[in-house]
Amino acid sequence: MKLCMMSYTVARLPGFDLPNTFKMTNDLGLEGMDMVSLYTYTAAEVRNMADDHQVPIVAYTFFANELGKNTAEERQAGVDKAKVGIETAVALGAPVVMIPPSPPAGITDADLCRRNYIEGLKLIAPFAEQAGVALTVENFPGLYSPFVTSGDFLQAKAAVPSLKLTFDNGNAASGEDVGTSFRKVAKDVAHCHFKDWKIRQDPAEGWRQMRDGRYYKAALIGEGDIDQKATIAAMLEAGYDKYINIEYEGNDYTAVDAIAKAADYLRREIAAAK
């Protein structure tokens, strides 16, 4: 398993600078970069930065949540965005694309939203296959998220056979046991995100309700309530040897401190589990 920089983790905190993020990737001993959009750069400029720092771009993430809308006409904008995203991934040299399956505004039925996404993914999958890029969705957080559990993904996989999963352990845990979830989808996992949440039973300001009815707040990997050890055990059991994003959505640490602490924690836990 190889630890990976997630540009989003750095970009959401003050002081984001993409060239410095590539430098940080090397300084922290991470082995790849997941680009979450291009920010203000072209694909060629980002590819040059990656080459200059000898950091492979191992995934490209972009939003196309129109895919969750109710009609083919409404979904077409998402299909068009996805085709551009796949072309961008090819230009970056990224072998994986990920579309976070966020529900569009006004969609409050997770099952309906998932069916809508599946219809859109059917149109995108041949384009990704032709480009030689793995098309993935992730376990996405939220009460109305269309993809949380392994069953959600496997429903889509049955309709779109080439679809793969970016397994997000923190988000998967909001719908089912995280180790069990990974085992059920292990053969289709193309990339991983690790994150953590603190969890409570009752609502409170700053806490977000998830599929399981409980309330979640972002924490640094290893400092929350997600069973990181169970995830690692399931991944080792399955022989997972690909990349793991370090994702952090809290505000208690600077980006460099958060990523450094999380990377140290994950290295210790992975070594201890072997």
The answer to whether 138 touches 165, Cβ cutoff 8 Å, is: yes
Which pair of structure tokens corresponds to residue 172? 């998967």
pLDDT tens-digit map of 38-86: 999 999 999 999 999 999 999 999 999 999 999 999 999 999 999 999 9
Burial class (CB in 10 A: 0-12, 13-18, 19+), 273: middle
Q: Residue 15's pLDDT is what?
A: 85
Which residue's entry shows tokens 């579309």?
Answer: 99
Phi, psi (5° rounding) for residue 160? Answer: -130, 85
Domains of the chain, first to last: 2-273 (3.20.20.150)
Q: Are 1 and 244 in contact (CB under 8 A)?
A: yes
**Alpha carbon distance, N-terminus to C-terminus of the chain:** 11
pLDDT tens for 1-37 read 999 999 999 999 888 999 999 999 999 999 999 999 9
pLDDT of res. 123: 98
Residues 228-268: pLDDT tens digits? 999 999 999 999 999 999 999 999 999 999 999 999 999 99
Return the amino acid letter for 225: D
In whole angstroms, give the CA distance from residue 266 to residue 243. Answer: 12
User: pTM here?
Assistant: 0.97
Tell me the pLDDT tens digit for each residue of 154-193.
Answer: 999 999 999 999 999 999 999 999 999 999 999 999 999 9
